[in-house]
Amino acid sequence: MSNPNEKSFTEILETISSTPPPPPPDVEKKSTSPDVEKKSTSTIGVETAAIIKRKKREDTLKKSYLVLRWLCFIFSFLAFVLMASNRHGRGLNFEDYEEYSYLLAIAIISSVYSVYQGIREVIQLVNRKPTFSRPVFVIIDFIGDQILAYLLISAASAAVPRTNYARHNSNNSMLMKFVDMASASISMAFLAFFTLALSVLISGYQLFAHFFI
């Protein structure tokens, strides 16, 4: 005979199944730390400032490059004109001296090269895109500027001894006029060299920035 106080197995199962499950533990929502948010915002600000600074630097270099190109053309053209017009009779013509003929030839080459580069820089500044693929003209600029800078300084330096010798060994007024014009042409060639030397620094920076930065 079964005990009335004892529950049947079926009743026990029903009691267990009817008991509501315990509530799930509260899952704490992970919140971003204020320090992390501040650090992320600071990083974005630094990167943006660096990009803006680099853009301004590139714009300044482009404008400086353009000015130097046209200054080099002006000085080279003046050196060419002064030397080409330095003709004062027999023995007082620039073609009578190899140094002056060499300076004239380099001044012509420098004028053509500089005006080409100047026009190209103007086109790029207006269109805001390179006329050739960037690796090509970066390498051409760097090599061309160095070669022409060497030619200018060599031509001007070669003409200096001849001019100094003529200046200190003659009192002829016509000869002095010839020497003065030669000196002016040499001075313009030196100025063209200095502007081109600055262009070499910029083209060297552009070459380094393109391939290594």
Domain residue ranges in the chain: 62-212
CB-based burial label for 75 (10 Å; 0-12, 13-18, 19+): buried
87 strand-pairing partners: 93
* DSSP helix/strand/coil, 91: coil
User: What is residue 18's predicted lDDT score, i.e. its pLDDT?
Assistant: 59
Q: Tell me what percent of the chain is helix, strand and coil, each rounded to the nearest 5.
A: 80, 0, 20
User: What is residue 40's predicted lDDT score, i.e. its pLDDT?
Assistant: 59
Element (H, E) at 180: helix 173-212
Q: Quick count: other Cβ atoms within 10 Å of Cβ 88?
A: 14
User: What is residue 166's predicted lDDT score, i.e. its pLDDT?
Assistant: 81
Q: What is the pTM of this model?
A: 0.70
CB-based burial label for 101 (10 Å; 0-12, 13-18, 19+): middle
Give the span between the Cα atoms of 94 and 98, in whole angstroms: 8
Calculate the CA dihedral of residues 144, 147, 148, 151 and round it to 10 degrees.
-170
Residue 97 near residue 161, CB atoms below 8 Å: no
Grouped pLDDT means (10 residues each) for the chain, 213 residues: 50 56 52 54 65 68 86 95 87 86 95 92 77 70 91 94 84 83 93 93 80 66
Q: For 3, how many CA atoms within 13 A lie in the half-sphere containing its CB?
A: 3
Residue 80 near residue 104, CB atoms below 8 Å: yes
Per this entry, what is the length of the chain? 213
